[in-house]
Chains A and B, each alone.
Chain A
Amino acid sequence: MTEIDATGLTCPMPVLRLQKVLRDTPSKARVTLLATDPMAKIDVPHFLSENGHTLLDQRAQDKAGPGGLDLLIFEVEKA
């Protein structure tokens, strides 16, 4: 399973990284995206929905990211 580490990056970088990886990912394959910018809670679901991909799960781990930021974990399935 592919994991994209976009921690420490501000939006829209997490979505751009995800988009790039999904381009080369086979249909139905799963990708995990890690991010710390809270704006990703809006950008990632919106981007996935607009492009027909599935957000299988979204969760946060308190202060588990670099610099003590909350770690956001998005599990994605490519359309």
Chain B
Amino acid sequence: MTDLWFALPVGVQDAAIALALLLPALGIGAVALRGFRVGPLLRALLRRQAWISVVFTALIAVSVALGAALIAQERGLREGTARAAEKFDLVVAAPGSEITAMLAAVYLQPADVPLVDGETYAEIVAHPRAELVAPIGFGDSWQDAPVIGTTADFAAYLSGRLAEGRLFARPYEAVAGARVDLSVGETFQPAHGHGDAAQEGMHDVDYEVVGRMPMTGSPWDRALLVPIESVWEVHVLPNGHGPDWDRVPGPPFDPAHFPGTPAVLVKADSLGGTYVMQAAFTDGETMAFFPGTILARLHALMGDIREVMSILAVITQVLVTAGVLAGLTMLTRLLARRLALLRALGAPRRFVFALTWSYATTLIVLGAAIGLGLGIAATGAMSAAITARTDILVEARLGWREVHLVAGFVSLTAALALLPAWLTMNRPVMSDLRG
């Protein structure tokens, strides 16, 4: 039996769970409504209490949206940050905070970090398991786009195939990220610094865009990639090569003329090689770390927060449900005269029960459905905002977890709605009829 279950595709399992969660509500409905036609009176009640019904539905919708959005958003963020770090196997930096180094190297959030010197850089390059080693250089920007110095090989590795043009082959050529508003052939002059602190006109050089990267879903989409040598030159530093350099950018660099790099981006020959290199460069002089591992640790931390958020979402939901039930109980009091009339005419108590229950459940189901839609819209908007600010592509889609949450909510509240329904069933007919 369990084997059979695990043999099912995940989508089928998820759909089955959602159905199973809805089953109690459907079951209650089938039993409660059996033999009755509540439709016309249900519509009459909804119309009679139109405003209250709308407010209740909205209340439920907002709480459901909140729960669904929290979950979808958290997942989208986790997937997005992981995707952005995918290409970064190993980062070697001067000892310090791994997170700061990772934020700088992977997510292009520069900070003042100590530099790795030329000797160490040469050691990393010389390591037998190293396949691709690249320095990184920050400091300048063009409009909102950071100008990042690195090597053409790394740019090629990061982008896969270029969307357009070619890689840089001379010091003042650039490859633009997919979200940078520059096309091949255009030129730009970098400003010193970033954002509001950027100073225009400090660097009297022009870069020419020779290629454009495809979308990577990472902050590198907003970056302008240029040869690291040009970044060094612009900042009046040694350019990484001896005096007889042929001005073709890229390795090998001369340790004696290497101004230092805040982080060294490394790709080893294999997963095993990555571990070997990580061990080799974790010593007093450097630290080597896997961005993926750091992220996983962060996510694990966020996982705890996620649990807390899920519990909060459930608590909110339960509180809203309790509020809705209290409201429904009062609402059914407003309906007491109509319900008493039905019983005076001879309607079975179970009919009054079915009518009240379906009234409550209609509001619940409607609210949950609207809430799910609202949740998706809210996550979409939040994701877009995060993507716009961080350039980490956050895609928040409706997932099964949210569907399960909502299905569980519907069943739970539908079951709880039996309570006010049961209360109406036992009210005195004549005194209610007098109103």
Q: Do A and B bind each other?
A: no
The interface of chain A, by Cβ under 8 A from chain B, is none
The interface of chain B, by Cβ under 8 A from chain A, is none
